[in-house]
Structure 1
Amino acid sequence: MKKNHDLLPLMDAIKEYDEKDVIPFDVPGHKHGKGTKELVDFFGERVMRIDVNSMKCLDNIGNPVSVIKEAQDLLADAYGADHAFFLTNGTSSGVQAMIMSACQAGDKVILPRNAHKSAINALILGGITPVYVQPEMDENLGIAMGVTLDKIREAIAINPEAKAVFLINPTYYGASSNLKAIVELCHKNDMAVLVDEAHGAHLHFHEELPMSAMEAGADMSAVSLHKTGGSLTQSSGLLLKEGIIDKNRVKTIINLTTSTSASYLLMASLDGARKILATRGREILCEKLELVRWARKEINAIDGMYAFSTELVDKEGVFSFDETKLGINVSKLGLTGFQAYDILRDEYNIQMELGDIYNVLGIVSLGDSKDAIEALVDALKDISLKYKKEEFKCDLLALENPEVVIIPRDAFYMEKKILPLTDSVGEISGEYIMAYPPGIPILSPGERITKSIIDYIEVLKTQKSVLTDNHDPSGEYIKVLKHNNVRSIAI
């Protein structure tokens, strides 16, 4: 039976609780804001009053039976899933739950090397062995795209015992793989398909966008409603189709790392964002697609700039493209993306999502306006006039998959030593190094360090990129395994 998406079961329950003016002798300790005037002045009285804890009338995220369950069921219905779970620790927790629900310690999972660090964290937590697939690279743009059906087929043939295939839909920059064909291939080989849709929470609600994971028949997907669906930061959803993976196992895995004091502000925002997407998502996305298509036309008329889009479709690794990802190549201006990112923020008060060697990326979503898009276009026109010089070129872009010497969990727990980064060629990394955003590891624990990897990190340092997760924020030193004579794993 079709569900009524005008309903807001969790938001209404919180509102009803607030209107009762209950005298609280439970947590949180601010007691509806009465003890923290500074927070009330900053956040507003309403926010503090509805920052509440689990109780019978508001259900419990660990084992929902009433209003949270009703809200989760609506979320599942909106995306064409059989079950949904609210996440209050972002899609990172959903990615970990997916991999650990499909795999046990010692199992293999096939995944692209441009996966988010949360996927590698799941391997550490679960003792799972990675089988990396090299994503396709666009050398002109200097970015990784999707993975091809042929490469997934090859990985399955070599690793028929793998339990799952993990995919990204879409990539940070908007590229989507042939998801439906990959799902069919994996299911023929009795493998679960897990999809990181951190940047695809909106896909399901407009037919001109890439196919969503649930529509393609994937077993699970994690969607960042806070990124492109309108909910509050750190709130996401985990979607499940019945079949290969048991819903009770998923709930158990989620509860391993979920707070028993999950934020009702975050959960309520998921309830509200779902209503917006389910009832008005297509209408809103039509408006945003019109805006972003106009922006691309204007940007591509600017000397030295290229806003890439659906013309990439049918190239290797690009089966379809999410036009709401406004990637702009600035290399012909003579700028790096890092420089353009800083210029836009510091001189024009415009905050882009990220800068990389060649590009800046803007995310166009529910809240973007014509005025904001026009301000960006005007700023880019001005930058072209002020900064245009000889084209910038970099030969250090196409990194190959590092050699996985030992599984991430073993490397994580092994004894380490610290070396200068420049002296670490041939060593085995004992930590992550990545640029954030997007949080895709350049090195992960257990991988062999090469000169090309070091050279790439040195380029990032010269561009003042933010390096994260390594013990030395400057990137001058790196933790490596103390004993380098370990035997490589067989994968």
Structure 2
Amino acid sequence: MKDINQNQTPLFTALKEYSKSGIVPFDVPGHKQGRGIKEFTEYVGTTIMELDVNSVKCLDNICNPIGVIKEAEDLAAQAFGADHSFFLVNGTTSGVQTMIMSACKPGDKIIIPRNAHKSAISGIILSGAIPIYIQPEINENLGIAMGVTVERVKKTIKAHPDAKAIFLINPTYYGATSNIKEIVEIAHQHSMAVLVDEAHGAHMGFHKEFPPSAMELGADMSAVSLHKTGGSLTQSSLLLLKKGIIDPFTVKTNLNLTQTTSASYLLMSSLDVARKQLATKGEEILTKVLKLVRDAREEINKIDGLYAFGKELVGTPGVYGFDETKLGVNVRKLGLTGFEVYDILRDHYKIQVELADYYNIMAIVSLGDTERSLQALVAALKDIAVKFRKDVEIKMITNVLKNPAVIVSPRDAYYSSKRVVKLDDAVGEISGEAIMAYPPGIPVVAPGERITKEMIEYIKLLKEEETLLQGTEDPYIEYIKVLGLNTNGFGK
């Protein structure tokens, strides 16, 4: 791709020009520049509403971009080291689904770590692929899953040489990266595509002190949540493609199966500007971000009972590299669960961290953070360690992180006849639904898997902690659908 000026914002510029043109709209959206929903417009401002337009000719169309959207996508492809990029307005979920659908047909095998996001499971259901789960490494001290090792990949490929693709995470929710370069080389030797969920790694290719991005390492496709760590609006992401195994027209066709035809120009133009900022100022901004998070990690590690883990994990199983902006803090020596600390931070200190599990909390530090915001977090953790500490230590439970037994493909399980049973009575059954805490959206159990006692105990533990659970038709997770004839309904 020829060099192009990364200071340009073709889509955002065209959108601003259109909004200033004095056009009289007789198309959708029906609020007509905000006049039709005055209460909302008065709060968010008229500029936002004037920029919320439909796919008019001069603004191009996301389903078949040939104008300013195409120009903006080409700029993004160059900035991220790809040959093609596709704007996403259904979040990275639609990108993950499209990657799997573009690499796998019904019945094809895909090698995938079990700590993948629920979007990967839905992509497997949509494509009809057969998941071959590869066990991620487990850090027993922290109680979290890390990356996958080259050795496990080799072993899995040897057992399943007919697999069509390998799916990887770069980085994991807590910041661990695998040796993607070597895995790509091995996969390509076996004509397997490498698909990478890079939802939390949009920033990594723009500063040399981060692990490299999937495109830099030779992956075939990656889905990048620019809204998570790159500055664009929530729900806006990128799908990136390298020439080779996967055809770009196949990708476009599959993307158009699941993505809206009424793409938000607010979302797309924010991608345009966020890409410009990363491409032109990313190194400068991320240098400051790294200093902030390093200083905060150092201060947190001085607090008795807390462990803010970081790059010292590199070289341990499943950690080839580490993204330092993932500020994970193990809190169990305070006698508190991560869920408790998550709630205390929000309710007592007005601090919202990204997620919690039973043992840890995790704060994402990104482009918009300041010294003041990090100081507030550190001060709150110091206070919690004194005021809320308990004289116990949270017991470690890691069995639930092991790969479950897949009895039926997720697609077959999704479409099979099902019956409803009480969660307590589901041990040994084959699940017809997924159950996950969100965030991070990694299923405790997925469709087609054998439900174990450990799974149920962990789900009940999550419920006791008032974790946000989802996936089942029953909103209270008292019941679960399992495979078999439908004989009962909820509450019967």
Residue 60 in structure 1 maps to residue 61 in structure 2: yes
Alignment-derived partner of residue 310 in structure 1: 311
Alignment-derived partner of residue 386 in structure 1: 387
- Structure 1: distance between partners of 2:396 and 2:478: 22
- Structure 2: distance between partners of 1:392 and 1:246: 53
Alignment-derived partner of residue 177 in structure 1: 178
- Structure 2: distance between partners of 1:357 and 1:210: 27
- Structure 2: distance between partners of 1:39 and 1:466: 28
Give deviations 1:449-479, integer Å, cap 9, x for gaps.
1111111112111211111111223222111
- Structure 2: distance between partners of 1:13 and 1:73: 16
Alignment-derived partner of residue 487 in structure 1: none
RMSD: 1.0
Q: Return the TM-score normalized by structure 2.
A: 0.97
Alignment-derived partner of residue 221 in structure 1: 222
Q: Structure 2, unaligned stretches of length 5 or more?
A: 487-492
Say if 1:224 and 1:236, in contact at 8 Å, map to a contact too.
yes
Alignment-derived partner of residue 457 in structure 1: 459
Say if 1:139 and 1:398, in contact at 8 Å, map to a contact too.
no
Say if 2:336 and 2:394, in contact at 8 Å, map to a contact too.
no
Give deviations 1:399-429, integer Å, cap 9, x for gaps.
2211111111111111111111111111010
Alignment-derived partner of residue 419 in structure 2: 417
Identify the range of structure 1 (149-158 vs 34-43) with the bigger mean alpha-carbon deviation: 34-43
Identify the range of structure 1 (366-375 vs 390-399) with the bigger mean alpha-carbon deviation: 390-399
Tell me the CA shift for residue 175 of structure 1: 0.3
Alignment-derived partner of residue 476 in structure 1: 478
Say if 1:95 and 1:222, in contact at 8 Å, map to a contact too.
yes
Alignment-derived partner of residue 280 in structure 1: 281
- Structure 2: distance between partners of 1:472 and 1:63: 39
Letter in 2 for 1:35: G
Letter in 1 for 2:411: R
Alignment-derived partner of residue 440 in structure 1: 442
Tell me the CA shift for residue 388 of structure 1: 2.1
- Structure 2: distance between partners of 1:30 and 1:475: 38
Alignment-derived partner of residue 132 in structure 1: 133
Say if 1:396 and 1:452, in contact at 8 Å, map to a contact too.
no
Q: Structure 1, unaligned stretches of length 5 or more?
A: 485-491
Tell me the CA shift for residue 391 of structure 1: 4.0
- Structure 2: distance between partners of 1:186 and 1:451: 35
Alignment-derived partner of residue 271 in structure 1: 272
Letter in 2 for 1:418: V
Say if 2:143 and 2:397, in contact at 8 Å, map to a contact too.
no
Tell me the CA shift for residue 398 of structure 1: 3.0
Tell me the CA shift for residue 167 of structure 1: 0.2
Say if 2:143 and 2:398, in contact at 8 Å, map to a contact too.
yes
1:130-279 residue pairs with structure 2 within 5 A? 130-279=131-280
Alignment-derived partner of residue 375 in structure 1: 376
- Structure 1: distance between partners of 2:97 and 2:336: 37
Q: Secondary structure, in 3 states, of the residue corresponding to 1:100?
A: helix
Tell me the CA shift for residue 395 of structure 1: 4.0
Tell me the CA shift for residue 225 of structure 1: 0.3
Tell me the CA shift for residue 211 of structure 1: 1.1
- Structure 2: distance between partners of 1:386 and 1:37: 46
Tell me the CA shift for residue 39 of structure 1: 2.1
Letter in 2 for 1:19: K
Alignment-derived partner of residue 49 in structure 1: 50
Tell me the CA shift for residue 393 of structure 1: 2.7
Letter in 1 for 2:372: D
Tell me the CA shift for residue 483 of structure 1: 5.2
- Structure 1: distance between partners of 2:263 and 2:330: 40
Q: Secondary structure, in 3 states, of the residue corresponding to 1:214?
A: coil
Say if 2:199 and 2:228, in contact at 8 Å, map to a contact too.
yes
Say if 1:206 and 1:285, in contact at 8 Å, map to a contact too.
yes
- Structure 2: distance between partners of 1:390 and 1:310: 30
Alignment-derived partner of residue 428 in structure 1: 430
Alignment-derived partner of residue 107 in structure 1: 108
Q: Flag the 1:289–1:391 CA change in 2: closer, same or farther, 3 A.
A: farther
- Structure 2: distance between partners of 1:459 and 1:336: 11
Q: Secondary structure, in 3 states, of the residue corresponding to 2:133?
A: strand
Letter in 2 for 1:473: P
Tell me the CA shift for residue 126 of structure 1: 1.1
Give deviations 1:223-279, integer Å, cap 9, x for gaps.
000000000000000000000000000000000011111000000000000000000
Identify the range of structure 1 (234-243 vs 401-410) with the bigger mean alpha-carbon deviation: 401-410
Q: Secondary structure, in 3 states, of the residue corresponding to 1:442?
A: strand
Count residues with an aligned counterpart: 484
Alignment-derived partner of residue 490 in structure 2: none
Determine what percentage of the aligned residue pairs are the same residue.
Answer: 63
Residue 93 in structure 1 maps to residue 131 in structure 2: no
Letter in 2 for 1:464: E
- Structure 1: distance between partners of 2:83 and 2:467: 41
Letter in 2 for 1:478: I
Tell me the CA shift for residue 3 of structure 1: 1.6
Q: Secondary structure, in 3 states, of the residue corresponding to 2:480?
A: strand
Identify the range of structure 1 (38-47 vs 235-244) with the bigger mean alpha-carbon deviation: 38-47
Say if 1:94 and 1:222, in contact at 8 Å, map to a contact too.
yes
- Structure 1: distance between partners of 2:396 and 2:58: 60
- Structure 2: distance between partners of 1:375 and 1:329: 18
Identify the range of structure 1 (115-124 vs 451-460) with the bigger mean alpha-carbon deviation: 451-460
Alignment-derived partner of residue 363 in structure 2: 362
Say if 1:331 and 1:392, in contact at 8 Å, map to a contact too.
yes
Say if 1:137 and 1:398, in contact at 8 Å, map to a contact too.
no
